[in-house]
């Protein structure tokens, strides 16, 4: 087997995934470079969230191999943070903002270890970075959509991971939250950390991402945004669905 390299925190070889005998991803091969912000772009049903869950070991795969930092995900899970789609979260769960953000510290604790002052300081700093420290005692169900999204990103930040998966973080949020999130992603890049983001707004792709994965059940293309985010590749990815999308920066 070809050796894995540390310059690629994610390596996927021949990945295929099916749900109820329906193929969702077919023969995906990827090497994601370290220290980059990667947009995962494609139409509804393209398998974007499935790709995340397959890499994270949250679903079974049919065939293929996935390595994270050169290892199986089970061996490096503390180094990987995941922010799911908002629809996947139970917002009626009786937890405060601080409760949720502190969950980011649990992967670093042993079975009988409790949270300490250092954990709470890290949590406070994460909330401060997302401008939600003043909300720490609020119930998550009382927050706006943008505030809720910032809570779960703060949880990921508190984990002190070096690989982040964000599934549609900009959906249903206000512009202030979107700006906060992208500023955080740029900061993580400066710290040589890697972020993958499922994203739908084609008009901001060139501004937000260093690399893009164009996906529609199969890998259409992957590379530097300036090289592969072209009208031809977007059309290959979306096909007929492109006609119902908003006008984008592709129409220059």
38-96 residue pLDDT tens: 999 999 999 999 999 999 999 999 999 999 999 999 999 999 999 998 777 777 788 99
Looking up residue 116, the CATH number of its domain turns out to be 3.40.50.300
Sheet bearing 80-83, strands edge to edge: 80-83, 163-167, 194-198, 37-41, 211-216, 218-224
Residue 3 is assigned to a structural domain of this protein: no
Residue 215 is assigned to a structural domain of this protein: yes
pLDDT of residue 250: 47
- Structure token pair of residue 80: 């990987």
What range does the domain containing 95 cover? Answer: 10-244
In total, how many domains does the chain have?
1
Q: What is the C-alpha separation between 65 and 70, in angstroms, rounded?
A: 11
Residue 44 is assigned to a structural domain of this protein: yes
- Structure token pair of residue 45: 């049903």
Residue 63 is assigned to a structural domain of this protein: yes
Q: In 3-state terms, what secondary structure has residue 100?
A: helix
Residue 29 is assigned to a structural domain of this protein: yes
Q: In 3-state terms, what secondary structure has residue 123?
A: helix
Q: What is the C-alpha separation between 233 and 248, in angstroms, rounded?
A: 14
The contacts found for 4-8 with CB under 8 angstroms, 24 or more apart, are: 4/67, 4/70, 5/70, 6/34, 6/69, 6/70, 7/33, 7/34, 8/32, 8/33, 8/34
- For the whole model, what pTM was predicted? 0.89
Residue 104 is assigned to a structural domain of this protein: yes
**Torsional sign, CA 181, 184, 189, 194:** negative
Residue 43 is assigned to a structural domain of this protein: yes
Residue 251 is assigned to a structural domain of this protein: no
The widest CA-to-CA distance across the chain, in whole angstroms, is 58
pLDDT tens digits along 202-248: 999 999 999 999 999 999 999 999 999 999 999 999 986 665 554 44
């Amino acid at each position: 087997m070809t050796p894995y390299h540390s310059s690629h925190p994610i390596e996927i070889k021949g990945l295929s995934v099916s749900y109820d005998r329906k193929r969702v991803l077919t023969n995906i091969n990827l090497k994601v470079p370290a220290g980059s912000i990667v947009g995962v772009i494609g139409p509804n049903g393209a398998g974007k969230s499935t790709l995340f869950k397959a890499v994270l070991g949250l679903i079974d795969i049919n065939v293929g191999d996935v390595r994270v930092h050169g290892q199986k995900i089970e061996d490096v899970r503390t180094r990987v943070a995941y922010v799911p789609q908002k629809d996947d979260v139970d917002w009626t769960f009786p937890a405060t903002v601080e409760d949720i953000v502190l969950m980011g510290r649990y992967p670093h604790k042993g079975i009988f270890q409790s949270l300490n002052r250092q954990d709470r300081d890290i949590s406070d700093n994460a909330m401060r970075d997302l401008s939600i420290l003043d909300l720490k005692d609020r119930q998550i169900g009382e927050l706006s959509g943008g505030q809720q999204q910032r809570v779960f990103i703060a949880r990921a930040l508190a984990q002190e991971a070096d690989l982040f998966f964000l599934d549609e973080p900009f959906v249903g949020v206000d512009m202030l939250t979107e700006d906060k999130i992208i500023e955080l992603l740029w900061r993580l890049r400066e710290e040589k950390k890697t972020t993958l983001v499922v994203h739908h707004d084609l008009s901001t792709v060139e501004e937000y991402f260093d690399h893009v994965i164009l996906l529609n059940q199969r890998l259409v293309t992957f590379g530097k945004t300036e090289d592969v985010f072209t009208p031809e590749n977007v059309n290959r990815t979306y096909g007929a669905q492109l006609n119902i999308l908003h006008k984008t920066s592709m129409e220059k």
